[in-house]
Chain A
């Protein structure tokens, strides 16, 4: 009475299906970014004297933008989950200031001060996350508000003459020291980046993160613990912002309350350039890592060549637009209709419409 069906033999892999293979299309974008990075470095090495510097010059330049990279790693996690964290920039300042003030005024051992600053960052991230999940306020608004609060507190704490002149061991390890030709900051960043990449693609938390970014209601109906996952993402983003603040302090050998917020938009740019969907779900951390270097070397290359930072910013904007247009073109070739996707997403977020698809 019940005929058990044998599985039908799978159809031969059609080209259409292979193109729409989700893993392939994101990998292609990362490869395109790598190519862009290579071309860019070659171009500046040939045309700008002092850019390549026998390789070590190039590596040393990376110190100038790894603070952005650290924030981007955290921001990528939050954006994957379909949220955004605007407070990461000023939190970075606050973290550096707290560490410096503890060390200078309270005479706390510098590494203990670092740990305290990071713990405080995590707590602030948890605060963001709790307000967002518990009161269901949009993350854009919550973090916009905490951005102001943290920025004001950081400036107030730093006083008229911010602390400077940290112990040499700190400046060497977290700042300008090197292992051979490789800057310590690059090592720190590499460890963090690989950790985040593995965590996102290979842990249950990372899986939940991406799924709720793609379709949050479906995640809820599948038993994913949304609140916990979102909270985790904000704590993580805040920790990365904290790390970034420590790196800034080490690099300048001074606490800077004025730098943090200028890191936020470049970090978000890096995330989007890296192929992460600003609406959540899709994207790879490897793309974000490569994009950090693409954008960083571009800016540094222009600055070394003597262009003003204004023109560097302008070129960044142009690069971002060109890349996004290219990416949408690539997606369309891969059988993805981006506009239809956007429409769906907007329909999904606006109002409780329950239209049946086809009847």
Chain B
């Protein structure tokens, strides 16, 4: 459906010299830097049954910033990961400067000049900036074949200067800010003479000023004729920086726009696939007299991640926790759940004050935590559904004559699984044979079995497709209706606006705001999460 576009920039071969913006480059050391046209043909990818990319074709042109836009789970990052060899595609192929590429590995992609600046920088924390630049391609001395450190130091300084990074090349990567780490990643791409650089949501942890610096660099690279790919959720910056925008929805390429031909609303409609506002939910206001406090957190601190966190939850209440990646939301939740020890602060669940907490004591007191990273912290991948669903209540499993009563256990599991409508052929099926959405439903079943009063749900719709998302919202409002208090941690502001009665905003480890009722809009939350209300 998305075949070749007509482009502003006239088609060039790889050997063509500087494109349109000639003469603007203050660039030392020009490598064979001109960009290379990278085209994806019909890429398809699925993860354990859920199709993430469905026959997507896009092209990245030299001298162009091409942005992928879409909701969470639309397949943007997956596409970039395939382009850079991190994932193999199930079907489809790649073309670089007219040549069909073999199946890529990260190393091969790098050799061909394709570089992904990942969502979270993957530098080696203990190595210096210079060493990070040259990992994989350490220059050697000619005769001794030993690493040529002198040259590394000299070249590193010039590479860092080229991306506007004013640091000592000997600085360990762990001492750099996220923004600096991203610039270092760019420098790394240049050291490897990359011609295609893909940025996977680089701006989400950046301040406005840092974003401008990054954009400045991107424009300079663009002027050099490199191919740039970009992902961001912030529509305004997308419109500002992009020459072309391709919208993905549910793994399909649904629309493309060129610079100047698009308005914000068009993008939103294309992303969501329907007019916004179709999905409305009656917010439960404080009409219930029977509400009581089920969780009170007082002065919870864990240096240096978060300080002085205090809030409370009432029964029947859905409360959101908004904040940027790295603002400390997940760490707060993990500390509440006893996975980390707090420095200070008290936590009361129902009537009980829990001093020294462990996940077990929290579960038994009625607090559960649905982790963000389902693959690592949630599911037991190769284990059957029954044991996955009952894993949270091992000490309470039904027994007969001291031994586990498996038929009783299966009965309990099947009830819990039915309550969240997990679709499966049998309870004996390994959980990794289910789709992402069904795995997440099974996680809800696990915690339903523990009969909690308070549920902390960390990114509850991460990695599930759109249909399953709606069902998960239904499950959440279902839980709240039954009296449970839910704390939802989410980066998806729309999700929070849709589901929550109140939203707490976390910024750099502090709660900096609380909005409730009609005040909860994505715009308001968007301001608060980047620290707009902070002195």
Q: Interface on chain A toward B: helix, strand, loop, or mixed SS?
A: loop
CB distance A211 to B383 under 8 Å? yes
Answer whether residue A138 sits at the interface, using C-beta atoms and an 8 A cutoff.
no
CB distance B394 to A214 under 8 Å? no
CB distance A17 to B424 under 8 Å? yes
Answer whether residue B311 sits at the interface, using C-beta atoms and an 8 A cutoff.
no
Give chain B nearest CB distance to A227 CB in angstroms: 10
**Closest B residue, CB atoms, query A4:** B478
CB distance B397 to A207 under 8 Å? yes
Interface Cβ pair total, 8 Å cutoff: 169
CB distance A21 to B381 under 8 Å? no
CB distance B360 to A22 under 8 Å? no
From A2, A10, A202, A224, give the contact of B394 (CB < 8 A): A224
Give chain B nearest CB distance to A209 CB in angstroms: 10
Answer whether residue B6 sits at the interface, using C-beta atoms and an 8 A cutoff.
no
**Closest B residue, CB atoms, query A348:** B376
Residues of A within 8 A of B462 (CB): 356, 359
Residues of B within 8 A of A222 (CB): 359, 391-392, 394, 446
Q: Which residues of B contact A (CB under 8 A)?
A: 47, 50, 52, 72-78, 118-120, 122, 281-282, 337, 339, 358-360, 362-363, 369, 371, 373-384, 387, 391-392, 394-395, 397, 402-404, 406, 418-419, 421, 423-426, 428-430, 433, 436, 446, 462-463, 471, 474, 477-478, 481
Residues of A within 8 A of B77 (CB): 356, 358-359
CA distance in complex: A225, B76 (Å): 38
CA distance in complex: A24, B376 (Å): 25
CB distance B478 to A202 under 8 Å? no
Query: Beyond A356-B373, A359-B73: 6 further Cβ-contacts under 8 Å?
Result: A2-B474, A198-B403, A207-B404, A221-B339, A223-B362, A341-B381
Answer whether residue A220 sits at the interface, using C-beta atoms and an 8 A cutoff.
yes
CA distance in complex: A340, B244 (Å): 36
User: Which residues of chain A (18-63) have a CB below 8 Å from chain B?
Assistant: 18, 20-24
Residues of B within 8 A of A13 (CB): 425-426
A207-242 vs B: 1/0 string, CB under 8 Å? Answer: 110110011011111111100000000000000000
Q: Interface on chain B toward A: helix, strand, loop, or mixed SS?
A: mixed
**Closest A residue, CB atoms, query B459:** A356
From B50, B281, B377, give the contact of A217 (CB < 8 A): B377
**Closest A residue, CB atoms, query B446:** A222
Closest 3 CB pairs of A and B: A17-B425, A7-B418, A223-B359
We find that the number of chain A residues with CB closer than 8 angstroms to chain B is 54
Answer whether residue A145 sits at the interface, using C-beta atoms and an 8 A cutoff.
no
CA distance in complex: A2, B343 (Å): 40
| With A215-B379, A219-B391: A5-B471 Cβ-Cβ less than 8 Å | yes
CB distance A354 to B373 under 8 Å? yes
CB distance B371 to A17 under 8 Å? no
Give chain B nearest CB distance to A2 CB in angstroms: 5
CA distance in complex: A227, B282 (Å): 46
**Closest A residue, CB atoms, query B369:** A221
